[in-house]
Amino acid sequence: MYCRAMAYGTAPPVSPPFQRSDQLNRESSSDLAIRHGIRDVPTEWDDRINSDLKATILDEIYPSLWLVGQRSPVHVDPLHKQVLKNRAITIAEDPKLHLVWYYNTVYIKPLPVYLLNHAIWEAHLPEPVGEAPEHRSRYDKYRAALGFLRSYGLLIRHESDFIIAQRANLLPKYVSFQRFQIFIQPFRSCSDDQVSLRYQYGQLRLTRLNWAVRIIKFYRIISRKQTQERLPWNYQEQLWQTSQHIQKYATPLIFVFAVLSLILSSMQVAFAAREATTWDAFVRVSWGFSIAILVFAATLGVLVIAPVLLVVIVHYRSAVRRRTQ
For residue 204, give the 3-state DSSP assignment.
strand
* Spatial distance between the Cα atoms of 145 and 133, rounded to a whole number of angstroms: 19
Residue % of the chain over a pLDDT of 90: 46
Residue with more model confidence, 93 or 319: 93
Judgement on whether residues 208 and 266 belong to the same structural domain of the protein = no
Residues 79 and 166 grouped into a single domain: yes
Q: Is the pLDDT of residue 13 over 50?
A: no
What is the band of 153 on the pLDDT scale with cuts at 50, 70, 90? Answer: very high
pLDDT at residue 229 in the model: 62
What mean pLDDT do residues 235-241 have?
72
What local confidence, expressed as pLDDT, does residue 6 receive?
A: 42
Q: Does residue 134 surpass a pLDDT of 70?
A: no
Pick the more confident residue, 248 or 217: 217
Q: In this structure, are 142 and 200 located in the same domain?
A: yes
pLDDT of 274: 60
Q: Are 287 and 266 in contact (CB under 8 A)?
A: no
Same domain? 276 vs 207? no
Residue-level pLDDT at 1 = 46
One domain, residues 133 and 282:
no
Residues 304 and 173 in one domain: no
**pLDDT tens figures, 156-184:** 999 999 999 999 999 999 999 999 999 99
Cα dist from 30 to 41, 120, 266, whole Å = 9, 10, 76
Residue-number span of the structural domain to which 292 is assigned:
239-324
* Whether residues 75 and 155 fall in one domain: yes
Q: Provide the mean pLDDT of the chain.
A: 81
- The listed range with the strongest mean pLDDT (132-136, 154-158, 211-215, 293-297) is 154-158
- Residue 263 in any domain: the answer is yes
Cα–Cα distance for residue pair 285/233, rounded to 1 Å: 52
Q: Is 51 a residue whose pLDDT tops 60?
A: yes
Residue 7 — pLDDT band, cuts 50, 70, 90? very low
Is 222 within the bounds of a domain?
no
pLDDT at 232 over 90: no
Total domains in the chain come to 2
Which range is most confident: 63-72, 196-205, 269-278, 286-295?
A: 196-205
Phi/psi for 158 (5° steps) reads -130, 165
CA distances from 216 to 58, 61, 221 (A): 12, 8, 9
CA-to-CA distance for 187 and 182, rounded, in angstroms? 10
Q: Are residues 298 and 165 in the same domain?
A: no
Whether residue 147 is found in the same domain as residue 254: no
What pLDDT sits at residue 291?
Answer: 74
Q: Is the model's pLDDT at 77 over the cut of 70?
A: yes
137 within domain boundaries: yes
Establish if 152 belongs to a structural domain.
yes
Instruction: List the alpha helices (DSSP H) in the chain.
Output: 29-35, 42-53, 56-60, 79-84, 118-124, 133-155, 159-167, 177-188, 206-223, 242-275, 280-324
Confidence (pLDDT) at 140: 85
Residues 119 and 193 in one domain: yes
Q: What is the pLDDT of residue 11?
A: 42
Q: Which of 177, 196, 212 is the last residue of a domain?
A: 212
Domain final residue pick, 212, 228, 263 = 212
Residue 148 sits in the same domain as residue 247: no
The 10s digit of each residue's pLDDT in 109-119 is 999 999 999 99
Residues 272 and 207 in one domain: no
247 or 17: which leads in pLDDT? 17
Residue 4 is assigned to a structural domain of this protein: no
- Indicate whether 299 belongs to any domain: yes
Range of 58-72, 223-237, 283-297, 311-325 with top mean pLDDT? 58-72
In a domain, 232, yes or no: no
**Is 307 a member of any domain?**
yes
pLDDT at 266: 66
| Domain final residue, candidates 212, 229, 255 | 212
